[in-house]
Structure 1
Amino acid sequence: MKVLIAAGGTGGHIFPGIAVAKEIVRRSEASEVLFIGTARGLETKIVPESGFQLSLINSAGLKNVGLVNKVKGMWVLPRSFIEARKIIRQFRPHVVVGAGGYVSGPVLMMAAIMGYPTLVMDSNALPGFTNRQLARFIDRATLTFEQALPFFGKKGVVIGNPVRSEFFEIGRKVDAGSFHILVFGGSQGSRAINDGMIEALPLLRVTGERLTLTHQSGENDYENVRAAYNAAGFVNADVRPFISDIFVEFEKANLVICRAGATTCAELAAAGRASIMIPLPSAADDHQRKNAEALVGQGAATMILQKDLTGEALANEILRLLNDAEATQKMGDSAKKLSRPDAAERAVDLIEELKMST
């Protein structure tokens, strides 16, 4: 089976595609998976490191961008269609999948025009702008939330958000006397989370050597964050611009401080880890806050809104959970109950059904 997966921009779009690609190859090593992305996204790093081939096209977003970028996006769009058409013709896939990012639009639209079976993967309660526009043209859609079903009608099926199998292999955290925190603001880092953590560090000195930290800062803030940890006395903190094998850090963690993107929420559930969620306020339709509220409502996370984020607020919440191991473990167990370990398998089941229908 040959499958073309369009995915780009952030890890939240790319990693579910990787999870599906790995399941395809697990079922049959003879299968071929080709990713399509752009030169500007993290796919240029993540996809090759995951063992898959990547082809690039020119594409740009049209939603939630300034006027200049919107004009640029419209200018690039015809070229996007031409380049997508060329790759589809050369690869001749059995099925074309859109895992997210603005690259999915021209690829899936062109695939539909050319008569190839198509599947959209959408992880939000309110589907993204591109997927809402594609709904009438694609054949099937895999969804994470029931609320998204009306946008796709009978084409949609709720399966959960595909997560890399490594997250499900993470065991329950054993209390070893230390308390490890993973801090990351998504695949590109978060200035607000970085600043909040920097302000919190002096207030966390009271923990002594019990507290250990790993912090994914993003490229732009790396030097500043690294220096802040050193200045606060946390010289052994593991600060990195980007962590490709983030599941390794999830396994070490008692607590994760993070955004509330759909993929992050699914990874927390798969790993069964407690979290302090800081939703991105500029996310479309405030969907990150809704994601976080869903986890908080199940006792699977705690939340600090970005407008309320201070070093003191963050430090207080960290210290509360550090000093209440039972509450932290219970939160992680509640997250685990929300996991959907068969999401990638069910997505590939649908892909195979689409292949058989041609």
Structure 2
Amino acid sequence: MSADEQIEGMLKEAANGRAITRAEARMLLSLPDNSLEAALLRSTANIVSRRRFGNRGLLLGQIGVDMEPCDGDCAFCFFAKSHTSIQASVLPTEEVIARCERFAAGGAQGVFLMTMHRFGFEWFRDLCVTLRRSIPAQLEILANVGDVTASQLGELRDVGVAGAYHVCRLREGVDSCMPAAQRRATIERIIESGMAWYNLCEPIGPEHTAEELAEQIWLGVELPCRQHGAMQRFPVPGSPLYAHGQISLARLSQIVAVVALATAHKKETTSIAVNVSNIVGLFSGANAFFPEAGEPLAEDRPQDHVAGPEGFTTALWRQSNEITTADCRTMLAAAGFSHLMDTKGGPTTVLHLNS
């Protein structure tokens, strides 16, 4: 049997519900991203995910609530203290509440509150207390913070934080100052706390090999994540990894497709995300986006959604307008998704994407 026949047979089995193995994932990740076989991979994942998730899409907002030059000093990060130019700032609580309300108005079912690796825990916990009293009940509070203890996770859970995003990233401990074992320990604590664990294969650059990608993806196959997916690395000027450049959307979507097929048997994984939000990913197995701003108001101007000096999203280092909930719904509808869903895969009060 030729390699092409082997891949075609594998993908037919995947389309019929068999999750791919790690060895098969490595093979699929080794394909040239613009090859016929890679196109078949993306198409297969699209079919599997549409059936798996009932043609529903998910929106999860993100808000950077504080920022400063970060001691984590990751080689890929915009905030690394050795090459950043940002100044320390904290987003006022009233602004966080207002942004959450606009996320909810646009159909988002949760919002990630993002901090630096080191952050003030009591301040963050108290912010979550205030938000849970102030924002729409259906909007879940999700943490995207540095490594935390089991007791801290318990405190966050008790004040209404539903889940946490945490990743043992590609080349952790090499391109970052955090040991991989430390990151994995935090992930295991999140799961043990009863909170939902959100995960991605990230931050993906052109230099990462199929073996590295498969190994990183498989942590989210072996452990129960609520969400899996993939995120490309944006080349930050002045950073050590800038010269490597950026992967194409075809490559990003190829990786998303592998994630979708590798997790096809995992009932606890209720969505597959692609970041940055793009329509190519929606035809490759992804059904979840991370809008960077909520529903635009009638009086908004385009420049109102450009990342400002306080708070942050990926738009800050992309030097572009923030992607809104309306933008995301438009892409989901254009890709043929019919409904939005909640974080567990169920129906929402905002059902029709074009309503």
TM over 0.5: no
Could you tell me the TM-score, scaled by structure 1's length? 0.30
Determine which structure has the larger helix proportion and give its number.
Answer: 1
Larger Cα-atom Rg:
1
Higher RCO, Cα 8 Å, sep 6+: 2
